[in-house]
Each structure stands twice: as C-alpha cells, then as structure tokens.
Amino acid sequence: MIKKYLMASLILGASALPGVAKSDPLAFDPAAFTQGEITMPDGENVAFKAYEGIFYVKNVEDSTYQTLNIYVPEKLADLPEVPILLRTYVGGYMASTAKAPSPSDATGRALKEGYVVCIPGSRGSNSTIERDGKTIYTGTAPNGLLDLKAAVRYLRYNDAVIPGSSELIFTDGTSAGGAMSSLLGSTGNCHDYEAALKKMGAAEARDDVFAAICYCPITDLNHADMEYEWLYGCTNTGVRNLSADQIVISDELAAECPAYIDSLGLREDDGTPLTSANYKDYIKKFLMASAHKALEEGCEIPDTIGFTFYQDKFGPMGGPSSINAPQGKPGGPGNGRPDEFGQGRPMGDDGRQAPSFGPGNAPRFNKTSDFVTALDLDKYLSYVATMTPLKTPPAFDQMGVLIETPSPENKVFGNEKGEAANFTDFSLRHRLHNDKASLDKDMVRRVEVMNPMNYIGTDHATVAQNWYIRHGAKDRDTSFLVPINLATKLKNSGKNVNFALPWNRPHSGDYNLDDLFSWISATINNTTGK
C-alpha cells in the first residue's frame, strides 16, 4: 500500500486527514523532518527523513523520556506493506531516551532494508522529575511499559500519515528491553493497562503488535529466582562456591520451582507434557541443537564442557576420528591433531563465525552423519558459570535477603520516592523475618502486569502472532527456563515462534542480523502472501 498521506497532505495538509485534527497534540506532522544519513558497515550510505522529539502522550510527565523518534528511509522497501521496527534501548530496567539509528544494530539494518524505524524513549527506575521541591521517581513499574505501549498507540493513531504500516510493527529489545518487547508482544489491547494509559493521555488506538523480537528477555521476574536456583543449584558447592547461608536460600528457592513448572501445563512440540521431571531433558534439546548448529558452521567445541559427539567418518589422517565417540560407535580417542577442539578457531556465535577450513585442513564435521548425542547438563552449567560468575541467590529479588543492595528489579518495583522494594513473597518474608508477610495488593498487580506469561494463551490480550526469541547458550543473566517457558507457552498457544539458544553467546542482542532480517522478511511474506 502506498501511503495515503503523501498526496493528501500535499494538497490538504495534515489537518484534513480523517480523525486527526490539526490542534490534536498527538497528530504526526509529516512536514516536520530533518534529513539524515548513516553509513553502514559495508560502506553503503542510507539516507532517511528524521522525525525527532515527538511527544507520544498528551499529559507528559517526564519530557526527557516520553518522546519518540521516527526514521523513514528515502528508499522505502518495495512491499505491499512496509514494516515498522520499534526498537527500545531499555537496559537494566532504567529509563531510556529516544535515540538515533545505529549502523551496527537492527535499526540501521532496518533502514537499509527500506523499513521504517521508531525509537521511543521510556521512563525507568532512574528517571526523576522535580515537583513541589521534591524529587519524584517517574519510572516505577509498569510506567516504562506504559510509555512503550503509548508509543505503539501513537503509531497506530497516526497510521494514515506515518509511512509504513502499523499493522506490521516489530518490537525489538535486549535484556530488560527484551522483557519490554515480550510485554509489548503479549499485552496488546489489554484492559489491565487501559486506565493508566488513559490517564497519561495516550492515543485512543490499539496497542497490539505484529511481532516481538526478544533478545535474552529478563522477565517472569516473580519466578526467575526459583528457576535460577533450580537450574544452577548443581554448581553451588563447585564453581559457584556459595556460603552456607547462600546455599540455604538457594535450596529453599529451588524447592519452589518444580510446582511452578508443573503449573504451567506446557507441552513439547509432539504433545508430550512438560513437567519438572522431564524439563531438564527439554533444556538439553535446545543446548544440543545449538551445539550441533555451531559444529555445522565450523565451530570447535571443547570435549570438556559436557557434550558427547558422534562422528561417523574417518579423519583426514586416515585413522578413526571421533569427538567423544560413545561406546559401541565408530571412532576412538584423539587422532593426533592437537588443535581438534578449543585450540583452533574460536567457538562461534550463532553463525556469525564463518567456517574456515584452510588449505590442507579437511572439514571435521559431516553435516549428515555427525551429531551431538548427549549432554551432561550439570557439567555444561558449570562451564557457563566459569565463563561469567553466576548471580548470588536470590538472583533478582535480592534486597534484604542476604545483602541490602537492591537489584535493578528491586529498583523498578520501588516507589515514587526512589525506595526500592521486594516483589516476591519469598524475599519479603526473608527481609522482614516474617513467614506470614505478603506483598500488598498494589505490588501484586504491578508484578502481574510486568509478566508476559500472564497474558499468553488467555483472552485478556491480543498476543502478537510472530515471535523471534534468542538467549545465548552461555548467558547466565537469567536461567534458560525463562526464555524456554516463554517460547514454549507461545508455541503451545499457536504462535509462530522462532527460538534458539545461540552457541557461545553471552548476554547480548541484535546479533546475527542476517538471520533476524531473513526471518522478518519471511514473516512478512507469509502474512501478505507476497
């Protein structure tokens, strides 16, 4: 669809467009742009129109953060509907300003592809204003999310005048931003947010989105502590080296996790019910698939980190070649090549590592006959903990349990005065030394509206149909259960989910943009039939 506004606004001005009056503070002004350009890593210059510093609510509380920027490439993609990438730079649950596109992340790449880019700012745990001589914290949860939802509404409200289609919004974020993206994807048009959005003066428009791109989402916050300890408890006395007090907390938390897993009622692709009894095998499948893909792409995986490999071929030196060949399978111990694993090329990261079989260096991995056969999960988790020290228990709601320091999550669940707060009964009880203590009603509600798991598979919200979720195979900022549960619940509810734990990836986002943008393109084509 060629944008309707071009002709209409030239002839009549924006005020003539249906539903958006000129005096309307939420009306997008197509004439209010500057010209910009970025140079991509390959040297290509991508020119765009920049619409910056647009307030997306009528009742602006925090003018530093409640604005958005829109970038429209000079060369719009030749598609029936041009998508809009909505990228949030939220990190650490802190405030984030509206930013300019970057050549090195998905924003620059989207412009190069001819897509429209929107980069909203949003309030967060550290945003403050002065009112009546007092410092007010403006970004306590869920305010940052409300801002982002208001930004989506702004795009929808002005769909007739903003190039690109608000029916094709792809949200994108990393870590706390990945959590925000998952919330944008899962809470569309949900009544739970309505009153607050109205109060802010958000546009009267839908706020569901087409797709959510979530890199290492730090979410399901009220279960993340138990999930972390249930998974990583195996390292407590080893590499994690916890104190006796920490082990007590770790064990208490871990003990709560099986009931949570069982309560989710998740299923594997083949319909097998997932329970706390088979869940670790399910995690292993994702890690083994990740390792397998890395090997296919020419990466080297040490044989000391828990994987067992089967290699059905003979090595280039003529003798049996094997990577940990299991008993009874062809192969045997090393074949004299000192750089077989760990010494040669570095381990890859989700395909960015080009296979590099140099002269005289025969491929060592046969895509059709070699595979990863088993994983010692505890060994692999110890390896992850060796790469980056694990968080100490509780990993998220930590304030007042064994240390006083508030986590980013304690801060974002804090109050207007900037006082951090607990957001689980577990930690509150430990802090207050009171087994009967529980979160007050308002905190229960705030925690609830910050958890995408509460909306997926329900009829309370319009959940995005398309999801791209990544969590690095050595990312320990939250446990593997968080992204796996998210992806599985979405899949079980009939969504189109592209999920992986990319090999050798730490906590990071917007990597392997070729993979992301081919998924975006395929998703659009599947929908529009182009």
Cβ 487 to ligand DHB shortest distance, Å: 19
Angle between helices 377-387 and 221-232 (to 10 degrees): 110
**Which amino acid appears at position 34 of this protein?**
T
**Beta strands 466-470 and 371-375, pairing class:** unpaired
Question: 45-55 and 34-39: which strand pairing?
Answer: antiparallel
Closer to ligand DHB by CB, 364 or 411: give it.
411
Which residues, including other chains, have CB under 8 Å from residue 323's CB and lie 6 or more apart? 301, 303, 309, 310, 311, 331, 340, 341, 370
Q: Which residues of 96-135 are buried (b: 16+ CB within 10 A; e: fewer)?
A: bebeebebebbbbbbbbbbbbbbbbbbbbbbbbeeeeeee
Q: Which residues pair with 37 in a beta bridge?
A: 47
Cβ nearer to ligand DHB, comparing 216 with 524: 216
For binding to ligand DHB (CB under 6 A), which residues are involved? Answer: 91-93, 175-176, 218, 396, 408, 477
Q: Are 337 and 322 in contact (CB under 8 A)?
A: no
CB of 67 to ligand DHB, least distance (A): 21
CB of 232 vs ligand DHB, minimal distance in Å: 14
Nearer to ligand DHB, 94 or 146 (CB): 94
Minimum gap (Å) between residue 391 Cβ and ligand DHB:
7
Residue 68 CB, shortest distance to ligand DHB, in Å, is 20
**Residue 506 C-beta: closest distance to ligand DHB, Å:** 11
Residue nearest to ligand DHB (CB): 175
Residue 71 host element (H or E): strand 67-73
Q: How far is the CB of 65 from ligand DHB (least distance, A)?
A: 16
Q: For residues 50 and 218, which CB has a smaller minimum distance to ligand DHB in the complex? A: 218
| Residue with Cβ nearer ligand DHB (168 or 486) | 486
CB 462 within 8 A of CB 208: yes
CB crowding 299-319: b at 16 or more within 10 Å, else e: bbbebebbbbbbbebebeeee
Per-residue H/E/C for 393-460: CCCCCCECCCECCCCHHHHHCCCCCCCCCCCCHHHHHHHHCCCCCCCCHHHHHHHHHCCHHHCCCCCC
- Please report how close the Cβ of residue 396 comes to ligand DHB at its closest, in angstroms: 6
Cβ 360 to ligand DHB shortest distance, Å: 43
- Looking at the Cβ atoms of 396 and 455, the one nearer to ligand DHB is 396
**Smallest separation, CB 126 to ligand DHB (Å):** 13
Measured from the CB atom, is 178 or 306 closer to ligand DHB?
178
- Residue 150 or residue 176: which is nearer to ligand DHB going by CB? 176
Measured from the CB atom, the residue of 112 and 476 that comes closer to ligand DHB is: 476
Q: Cβ–Cβ contacts within 10 Å for residue 269, how many?
A: 9
Least separation, in Å, of the C-beta of 164 and ligand DHB? Answer: 27
Tokens of 306: 């828990």
**Closest CB to ligand DHB among residues 298, 414:** 414
Contact call for residues 348 and 503 (beta carbons, < 8 A): yes
- The alpha carbons of the chain give a radius of gyration, in whole angstroms, of 25
Angle in degrees, CA 475, 481, 486, rounded to 5: 105
Alpha-carbon span 426 to 173, nearest angstrom: 29
- The residues, ordered by sequence, that sit 6+ positions from 458 with a Cβ below 8 Å of its Cβ are none
Closest to ligand DHB by CB, 158 or 250: 250
